[in-house]
């Protein structure tokens, strides 16, 4: 695992120097995208609430795709490297990013983390955001595709309550399908909620602990 990229106290002001923080972020995200494309690296955002299964999904994707692509991951968290270590067990390079108090990654932190990787030797980069269904939606990072992971344990209204993050999603993963019945959650209803907000999103239903449905995610991502 690589050294942690740590946000400095008040670092967000680096971006706030410009009048419009979102616009500044978008500019940096475009630079990140350009750099990644130049090296032929496809970056994929993995967003979702705390405990939805983002890390488990990345672990399963890495295991499944190991023979096909050279991969790396960024893992955004406030202060820990727990998830980063879980992903690194599978033999991929991981850069942990600690945001301190921020509820999302931004393009500035991703830009710094990109400097820690040998992009030349990479095909795929998974960027796991801080667990949150609200803030990450507004901060593009420079990735090609955005995945949102929700789980049935979050209840039946997760999608309708957080529409914005689904609008931009390429793939929506409905995880912990094995618990749908005990939780009294109708997976088809969740899927219909996603499609109503974003008819273009591909939906995959998974149990990321067992690996069920992960093949659908791979297919939906065109990998």
> Which residues here bind Mg ion, judged by CB under 5 A?
54-55, 83
Q: Which is nearer to Mg ion, 83 or 106 (CB)?
A: 83
DSSP class of 104: S
Q: What is the CB neighbour count within 10 angstroms for residue 170?
A: 19
Least CB distance to Mg ion at residue 183 (A):
20
The pair of structure tokens assigned to 214 is: 């992960």
Tell me which residue has its CB nearest to Mg ion.
Answer: 55
Question: HSE (CB half, 13 Å, CA atoms) of 215?
Answer: 2
Smallest Cα–Cα separation from 6: which of 151, 112, 90? 112
Q: Which is nearer to Mg ion, 73 or 114 (CB)?
A: 73
Give residues with Cβ within 8 angstroms of 21, minimum separation 6.
Answer: 12, 15
Helix (H) or strand (E) holding 171: strand 171-175
Least CB distance to Mg ion at residue 38 (A):
29
Q: Which is nearer to Mg ion, 55 or 99 (CB)?
A: 55
Q: Which is nearer to Mg ion, 25 or 151 (CB)?
A: 151
Residues in a beta bridge with 95: 74
Least CB distance to Mg ion at residue 192 (A):
27
Least CB distance to Mg ion at residue 208 (A):
11
Q: Which is nearer to Mg ion, 83 or 154 (CB)?
A: 83
Least CB distance to Mg ion at residue 110 (A):
17
| Cα gap 220→84, rounded to integer Å | 25
Q: Which is nearer to Mg ion, 24 or 173 (CB)?
A: 173
Pairing of strands 124-128, 202-205: unpaired
Least CB distance to Mg ion at residue 136 (A):
13
| Cα gap 165→169, rounded to integer Å | 7
């Amino acid at each position: 695992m690589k050294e942690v990229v740590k946000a400095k106290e008040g670092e967000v002001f680096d971006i706030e120097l410009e009048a419009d923080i979102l616009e500044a972020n978008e500019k940096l995200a475009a630079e990140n995208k350009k750099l990644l494309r130049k090296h032929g690296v496809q970056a994929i955002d993995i967003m979702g609430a705390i405990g939805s299964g983002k890390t488990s999904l990345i672990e399963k994707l890495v295991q499944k795709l190991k023979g096909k692509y050279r991969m790396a991951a960024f893992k955004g968290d406030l202060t820990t490297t727990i998830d980063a270590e879980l992903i690194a067990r599978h033999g991929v390079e991981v850069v942990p990013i600690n945001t301190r108090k921020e509820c999302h990654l931004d393009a500035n932190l991703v830009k710094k983390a990109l400097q820690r990787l040998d992009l030349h030797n990479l095909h795929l980069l998974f960027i796991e955001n801080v667990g949150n269904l609200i803030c990450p939606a507004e901060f593009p990072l420079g990735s090609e595709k955005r995945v949102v992971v929700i789980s049935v344990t979050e209840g039946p209204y997760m999608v309708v309550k957080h529409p914005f993050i689904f609008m931009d999603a390429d793939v929506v993963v409905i995880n912990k399908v094995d618990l749908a019945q005990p939780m009294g959650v109708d997976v088809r209803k969740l899927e219909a909620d996603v499609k109503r907000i974003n008819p273009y999103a591909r939906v995959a239903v998974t149990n990321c602990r067992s690996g069920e449905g992960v093949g659908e995610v791979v297919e939906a991502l065109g990998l």
